[in-house]
Chains A and B, each alone.
Chain A
């Protein structure tokens, strides 16, 4: 496969994941805004913007943090170069670049959803319309992954796409957790002060994990449980551990198909050694924020190493 095509697949799936996760983050914010007082809602919208790393450019063109302004900025505002409409455009143009290595079902799933979203996002999104956008973003992910799972050869292209998915997903979960890490400072829960369960539901919701968490923890929302779930639980498909396991498999398959390992495999092993057999206590001991910062840096480095190992760019 061409290096450029591999790059296209990798980024197509990264942007797809990013668009879907952004949609979830808005969904969680929306939920919060509908159920809490105005001040809390504003806080939530502020944290959505911060989590996405858009604070500076948002504040340059907006006065306050009301829902309509936030979701329009995130979804479609041209002042925000990382808006969801652009992301979906990037999904599609990368898919076009890699068209010969996508099954027609996967391509059509991308193209059809892009058409729908592009139309939905061509005009300002109202309070009544935002739900449809969020649902469509979720469906896009589901349909593209479904088509990929059901129709694509398990060749290198598949693994480049999956690697993109899991690098992006791990990054997203880590960011969301990092944004709220202060709420999890163990001192608070040790002294038994109750966590703001609404805040935590919001976090869990933004990684599609609210009901999974409840199943596992009988509804008990507490700091250790949440860190265990989002970082270490390898049965939850958006946890850091799950993403790492999946990425390890994809990188292993790529090395096998190519008959040799590259620097990405080395970095993967090194990153593994930092997380395997880790306990929640150990994470708190080194500091959650420090842990997450280290995780994200390694995650990004693996992504760059893949691009190098497989000649994504000239």
Chain B
């Protein structure tokens, strides 16, 4: 898997080197650009991101160091018909996810029906016993979802991962577009691209539609974004979203339960919070219920939640669906709750918990990608084709010791999209994370999303913590 395999699907050029229709207008424009100008623009992009402060902190590094996620100025382009197909599949999947979560925390029909083994819940660290029997306001568990997609051919999109817990990265979707428009205004007059800038407004509306049952009305719904604070790696995004939504950006220390409501300490005294878009993990939400030492959360918030005094988005316990062992059951889950075949397929997945699958995986480690069931961010995984013999040997030992903890997938030949380099355009592997909003009024998908790109030639790892970059993602207008 060194170098891009000739079989892999390039989104810009077909096998004969011809530009695909999606990129036609863009390439016409690109070919007319002065090479020196492009070079200068590329250098300026970094500067512009630093000025706006879109940086992230990398854990374990010098605290003062803030890094940029590299931005590549060649957009990733999706046609309107492709997007329509994707949205139908995403909508179906997200609908199923919500129904699934409701069922898991209530009657567990899917387990009774024998379609999902109960052990998956027992071993799932994100499972929250406190959520059993509790109906979240509006019946919504996953107010914000990010579905990670990969592509392997003209019509072949697969879901790689569901992010139902706290999907991040939406600020990059928005800022990448702003940066592109500032860098190349003329380009947007030549190519008609669906806007993404209304995402924060939609998010605000979607959150405000999820008022808790005890909201007494007669005043505006108070939405707040809960952040772990300015040292969190995603603080920029938290502040950005709060700012764009006109919501308060709160920390745990600003909140207190007063008179049965979660209230924030304002300059006028305590004011109620109705909907809390929290960007802290379940474990840190309520020191009375979860981590007793946490200073990030709000003591007693879970009691208020249970009592219908506040909406927490996403609902506590939704992370159960992000588990990769659950993922492997998503086709069954979609069918069980929607009565339809999944429109968007999963990547073929071997559950190492099954004896036969385990044998297959152990026999074919050199070919497979093996992931931890609860892992994320590209950590703790083995990419067989690029791993050394020693790495494979070490991983084999871990896998044999605890097979339940792993799933395996074939090494996909991910699609590529070119990035700009000083030597011209050069293909790199990409994935795509569209952002989905769920409210009692329905499901909204912003046309676009976050395209992550592996900047190293031939690399399949797109995670920003491991050298990935991002691109602006265009959905073309019809």
Inter-subunit contact A314/B267 (CB<8 Å): no
- List residues of B (241-256) whose CB comes within 8 Å of A's CBs: 242-243, 247-251, 253-254
- List residues of A (244-279) whose CB comes within 8 Å of B's CBs: 258
- List residues of B (176-233) whose CB comes within 8 Å of A's CBs: 230
A289 to B323, CA, bound (A): 70
Known contacts A108-B52, A111-B51; A2/B266 CB under 8 A: yes
Inter-subunit contact B53/A107 (CB<8 Å): yes
A5 to B266, CA, bound (A): 9
- List residues of A (86-125) whose CB comes within 8 Å of B's CBs: 93, 96-97, 99-100, 104, 107-108, 111-112, 115
A36 CB-CB contact with B under 8 Å: no
Inter-subunit contact A2/B265 (CB<8 Å): yes
Contact with A along B302-329 (1 / 0, CB 8 A): 0000000000000000000000000000
Residue among B235, B253, B265 with max Cβ neighbours from chain A (10 Å): B265
Given contacts A3-B267, A112-B51, 20 further A-B contacts (CB under 8 A): A1-B248, A2-B249, A2-B254, A2-B266, A3-B266, A4-B251, A93-B230, A96-B230, A96-B239, A99-B239, A99-B243, A99-B249, A100-B239, A100-B242, A100-B243, A100-B248, A111-B53, A115-B51, A310-B267, A311-B269
Set B50, B239, B248: member contacting A2, Cβ < 8 A = B248
Inter-subunit contact B268/A258 (CB<8 Å): yes
A104 to B247, CA, bound (A): 16
- Residues in chain A near residue B266, CB distance under 8 A: 1-3, 311
- List residues of A (1-22) whose CB comes within 8 Å of B's CBs: 1-6
- Residues in chain B near residue A314, CB distance under 8 A: 253, 265
Interface residues in chain B, defined as those with a beta carbon under 8 Å from any beta carbon in chain A: 50-53, 230, 235, 239, 242-243, 247-251, 253-254, 264-269
Nearest chain B CB to A107's CB is how many angstroms away? 7
A168 CB-CB contact with B under 8 Å: no
Known contacts A96-B230, A96-B239, A100-B239; A156/B51 CB under 8 A: no
A306 to B30, CA, bound (A): 57
User: Number of contacts between A and B (CB, 8 Å)?
Assistant: 59
Nearest chain A CB to B243's CB is how many angstroms away? 4
A220 to B478, CA, bound (A): 76
Nearest chain A CB to B259's CB is how many angstroms away? 17
- Residues in chain B near residue A3, CB distance under 8 A: 254, 265-267
Query: What are 13 A-B interface contacts by the 8 Å CB criterion?
Result: A1-B267, A2-B248, A2-B264, A4-B254, A96-B53, A96-B239, A108-B51, A108-B52, A115-B50, A115-B51, A311-B267, A314-B253, A314-B265
- Residues in chain B near residue A1, CB distance under 8 A: 248, 266-267
Nearest chain B CB to A267's CB is how many angstroms away? 18
A145 to B268, CA, bound (A): 26
A311 to B256, CA, bound (A): 14
Nearest chain A CB to B43's CB is how many angstroms away? 16
A5 to B265, CA, bound (A): 10
- Residues in chain B near residue A107, CB distance under 8 A: 53
A97 to B267, CA, bound (A): 15
- Residues in chain B near residue A108, CB distance under 8 A: 51-53
A119 to B241, CA, bound (A): 29
The chain A residue sitting closest to B48, CB to CB, is A108
The 8 tightest CB contacts between A and B, nearest first, are A310-B267, A99-B239, A100-B243, A100-B242, A3-B265, A100-B249, A111-B53, A96-B230
The chain B residue sitting closest to A114, CB to CB, is B53
- Residues in chain B near residue A93, CB distance under 8 A: 230
- Residues in chain A near residue B268, CB distance under 8 A: 258
- Residues in chain A near residue B51, CB distance under 8 A: 108, 111-112, 115
A107 to B240, CA, bound (A): 12
Residue among B50, B251, B254, B268 with max Cβ neighbours from chain A (10 Å): B268
A107 to B230, CA, bound (A): 15
A107 to B51, CA, bound (A): 9
A5 to B51, CA, bound (A): 22
Nearest chain B CB to A296's CB is how many angstroms away? 26
The chain A residue sitting closest to B239, CB to CB, is A99
- Residues in chain B near residue A6, CB distance under 8 A: 267
A227 to B111, CA, bound (A): 84
